[in-house]
Amino acid sequence: MLRTMLAAVAALALSAGLAGAQGWTGGDDLPTNPLPCDGPAPAPEPMAYNGGEPANPPDRNGKPLTVVDVPKLIGVGYFDATSKGMQEAAAELGNMTITTDAPVEANIDDQITVIDNYITKGVDGILFAANDGVAIAPVLKKALAAGINVVGYDSNAEPDARQWFVNQAEFNGVAKTLVDKMAEEIGADGSFAIVTSTFTTPNQARWIAEMAAYQAACHPEMKWLETVEAQEDNILSFNQANTLINKYGDELKGIFGMTSIATPAAADAVTQAGQCGKIAVVGLATPNAMRPYIESDCVKSTVLWNPVDLGYAAAHVLRATADGTLKPGDTSVKAGKLGDLAVIKGSEILLGDPFVFTKDNVNDFDF
């Protein structure tokens, strides 16, 4: 009963919050599930398998696999790290070759073209991180129809367009961690803005929706000023953060960065504006990118997971899928050194909880 009432209150407050947040149009129409303000998260309810199936795949059990990895883009530290994890897994397994190939910009049309080309060339498996979960679905379904095993990571597609999705962390768990950290820094009634890639990028849209729901329920006095797009571009991310700083002046107390590019760019903009200590930056980014800002005390913490482990897990899930050792209805999958990973939401593999990097631990990591 209490949970139902909380959800109803959060929904009403979320509607009001969304109406007041300039620019945000909502990334999807999925329901939100904010975690409790205090105490442990409830265990996820089991669901029937809802992923896709390849058509008449050949017997790949134990046989060498040729796999293409198509992240959102290449040339950024985050996807360099996921690729590194995949190569570690491939070397460990000894019977899988993985090639990473993607656009140099986060462009969904270019990403679709890359995937389509590899379907034509013929591969055993496709690993992907979607720039747009809806737009990418047809080409992934084409891959399944060709008998190719398809596994997503980092950013999902429609469930029936892939077999499994390796989720770096639950969306509502990331949302709670981000909002709680921001509230610690700017106070219960502080005003914040968000720099994201696009409103339709699936993982960021989900995080923002869950952040709004959790903030409405647990930090209702905080004010959401605006959300802006920066297209996974470093210069645009810096410029957007700088525009927010100039536009809102003393009213702006915090900036969320929703990408591994936007967060350090926002920190750089705050640093160059001389606003360290006045505007908090909280977001998702690699420790290497955030280390200078954390060590200078301009940023207190950054939230992420280990993208090397994410890539490593995705490669193991692809191998298990091809071998038939991961099947619809299974509740866990073996992922090498990571141990058994849980299956949630029918066809998702959960890597684990988000991790907070601070001045005390940031130098313990190198990615």
Q: Domain locations in the chain? A: 65-168+306-351, 170-304
How far is Cα 171 from Cα 311, in angstroms, rounded to an integer? Answer: 18
Res 64: pLDDT = 98
Res 26: pLDDT = 60
Which amino acid is located at 189 in the chain? D
pLDDT in tens, the chain (367 residues): 333 333 333 333 343 344 346 656 566 778 999 999 998 878 777 899 999 999 999 999 999 999 999 999 999 999 999 999 999 999 999 999 999 999 999 999 999 999 999 999 999 999 999 999 999 999 999 999 999 999 999 999 999 999 999 999 999 999 999 999 999 999 999 999 999 998 888 889 999 999 999 999 999 999 999 999 999 899 999 999 999 999 999 999 999 999 999 999 999 999 999 999 999 999 999 999 999 999 999 999 999 999 999 999 999 999 999 999 999 999 999 999 999 999 999 999 999 989 999 999 999 988 8
Count CB atoms within 10 A of the CB of residue 299. Answer: 30
How far is Cα 69 from Cα 91, in angstroms, rounded to an integer? Answer: 15
Tokens of 210: 């869950």
**Measured on CA atoms in the order 358, 193, 32, 187, is the torsion positive or negative?**
positive
Cα dist from 84 to 63, 87, 267, 303, whole Å: 22, 5, 26, 20
Sheet with 96-100, strands from edge to edge, namely 96-100, 65-70, 125-128, 149-153, 164-167, 348-350, 340-344, 332-334
CATH 1.10.3720.10 is the classification of domain 65-168+306-351: no
Tokens of 297: 């005390």
170-304 — its CATH code?
3.40.50.2300
Res 202: pLDDT = 86
Res 5: pLDDT = 35
Query: Do 170-304 and 65-168+306-351 have the same topology in CATH?
Result: yes
Res 9: pLDDT = 34
Res 41: pLDDT = 79
- Which residues have CB under 8 Å from 23's CB, separation 6+? 226, 227, 228, 229
